[in-house]
Amino acid sequence: MDNIEITVQHDVFKLAQVFTISRGSRTQADVLTVTLHQGGHVGRGECVPYARYSETMESVEAQVKSLPASFDRTDLLSLLPAGAARNAVDCAYWDLEAKQAGKPVWELAGLPAPKPEITAYTLSLDTPEKMQEQAAKHSYRPLLKTKLGGGNEDIARIKAVRMGAPEATIIVDANEGWTPELYEKLAPVLVELGVAVVEQPLPAGADDALLTLKRVLPVCADESCHDSASLTALKGKYDMVNIKLDKTGGLTEALALKDAAIAQGYQVMVGCMVGSSLAMAPAILVAQDMALVDLDGPLLLGEDRDSPLHFDAQGVHPATPDLWG
């Protein structure tokens, strides 16, 4: 077997508008594109290094470039830790294998043929008035995700979103910004407003309080859940886990985490960082028939890859081979 040639490129995609969460704002998506060349075939993957996990563009690129000239997807699980670097390489390897075999990734992985999935659309953190405007603009979407900041205006924000989009199902993302007391205060109100779930209300290192809280509003683990090994520490705290390929370290581990989480009784959300269609394409395979899907990265961009994913009333459609897989 020929050696694998790896190239890494820093790509920038402008956002359609400023995107704000509790940790800050951004105007562009910075991603790393990994391309694998072997025997005349090419595979691509994308990752988003995340400062929350002590990742930088430089550190992730260095991880990718540390790989040997010959490896396979099984080797990757021990060569690189779960995280952005392994994600981009793993997804590029799946794409490479598909191109070499002349078969789609879903078939190589033994999965059913994928179909479109309804995805959430994320509303940027803002004043209640601005968030109501955002919600009204996107009220035709069946699923909206609302960023919250942990402050006194959070209830006003959700009320405003509900006024703007009276029919939509709402997911709330607290990004580790709440306290146990704030959960107890907000949760009953959010349930009345029709919120389906809150993502990561408490900091990942301080979520033991969820063991004793009465979880009237279901809680989803995001920052607390990275890969299959994370599940042990989640027992009794969470009702759902959010699988993101940049956390699991690729499609291979994401599929394993999905199976393990379901076997242990968790509902599953499949989410994403703010990236291009290339980053979402593998996640669509994980998202099939899951409780919630949040693969709206391309919808937040002002520009995207060639052959981008197609979004319509049916949701996000599987990628064409020109993009990935």
β-pair type (311-312, 315-316): antiparallel
Q: Per the residue annotation, which of 147, 237, 247, 258 is the catalytic one?
A: 147
Q: What are phi and psi of 300, to 5 degrees?
A: -90, -5
Q: Per the residue annotation, which of 145, 237, 244, 247 is the catalytic one?
A: 244
Tell me the helix, strand and coil percentages in the chain, rounded to 5.
35, 25, 40
Q: Clarify whether 244 is annotated catalytic.
A: yes
Burial 299-308 (b: 16+ CB within 10 A, else e): bbbeebbeeb
β-pair type (143-147, 195-199): unpaired
Q: What are phi and psi of 288, to 5 degrees?
A: -55, 120
Q: What is the DSSP letter of 300?
A: G
Q: End-to-end CA distance of the chain: give it in Å, rounded.
A: 21
**Residue 269, token pair as written in the block:** 């959300």
Q: Clarify whether 137 is annotated catalytic.
A: no
Amino acid at 241: V
Catalytically active residues, by annotation = 147, 244
